[in-house]
């Protein structure tokens, strides 16, 4: 047991400070509030899509609910999706599966930034490259033995910071363990589709 003499002060625990562009005090405060009020953890994110002709779809994201209320983004975000000419599109935006890779990259990278800040690690650079393998025989209806989606996804991170290699690697592994997008891709999620045709 570690006892302190009356003249010795107990070790001082540093208050978190903003780090890597992350408001670390707010991050810890949020964790504390949600731990005490789990109902505040329930969020619903929403997106709308509109067919623009051909393979082109325009998506918008403007609001979401969570933390006990409705919220709006600073602006309505729009995102274009299409197919390249080789896949019968006009190349007005990335393909939907490229957006999926982008979502995974953003989710993992955000986790790395937050976890590094929470652990007091200063990041100097984080980059990633993602590859997803797909066989179009599935979505083209040419084979019922080939799945429609990616058969494999590979993510490669390059990370530099003021911590040993092992600690930086553990930050990436923790980001993977806490990533919502990784979880959805690795474990699946129920998806229901309703149609209002008229």
pLDDT at residue 66 is higher than 50: yes
- Mean pLDDT value of segment 107-122: 96
CA angle 182, 188, 192 (to 5 degrees): 125
Q: How far apart are CA 114 and CA 194, in angstroms?
A: 37
Task: Return the pLDDT at 15.
Answer: 64
The set of residues, in sequence order, having a beta carbon less than 8 Å from that of 120 and lying 6+ positions away, is 19
Q: Enter the tokens of residue 119.
A: 């652990």
pLDDT at 17: 81
Is the pLDDT score of 11 beyond 80? no
Report pLDDT digits (tens) over 13-61.
566 788 899 988 888 888 899 899 999 999 999 999 999 999 999 999 9
The predicted structure's pLDDT at residue 174: 97
Question: How far is Cα 157 from Cα 153, in angstroms, rounded to an integer?
Answer: 13
Q: Is 184 helix (H, G, I), strand (E, B) or coil?
A: helix
Mean per-residue pLDDT, 186-195? 95
When the pLDDT of each residue in the chain is averaged and rounded to a whole number, the result is 92
| Spatial distance between the Cα atoms of 134 and 151, rounded to a whole number of angstroms | 6
Q: What is the pLDDT of residue 12?
A: 47
């Amino acid at each position: 047991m570690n006892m302190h003499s009356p003249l010795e002060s107990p070790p001082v625990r540093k208050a978190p400070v903003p780090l890597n562009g992350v408001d670390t005090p707010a991050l810890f405060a949020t964790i504390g509030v949600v731990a005490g009020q789990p109902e505040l953890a329930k969020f619903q994110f929403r997106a709308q899509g509109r067919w623009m002709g051909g393979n082109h779809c325009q998506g918008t994201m403007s609001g979401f609910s969570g933390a006990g209320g409705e919220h709006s983004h600073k602006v309505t975000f729009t995102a274009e999706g299409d197919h390249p000419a080789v896949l019968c599109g006009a190349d007005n935006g990335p393909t939907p599966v490229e957006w999926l890779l982008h979502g995974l990259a953003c989710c993992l990278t955000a986790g790395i930034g937050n976890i590094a800040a929470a652990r007091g690690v200063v990041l100097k650079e984080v980059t990633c490259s993602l590859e997803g393998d797909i066989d179009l025989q599935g979505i083209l209806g040419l084979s019922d033995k080939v799945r429609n989606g990616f058969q494999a996804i590979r993510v490669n991170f390059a990370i530099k910071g003021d911590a040993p290699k092992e600690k930086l690697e553990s930050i990436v592994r923790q980001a993977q363990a806490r990533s919502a997008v990784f979880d959805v891709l690795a474990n699946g999620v129920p998806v229901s589709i309703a149609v209002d045709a008229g």
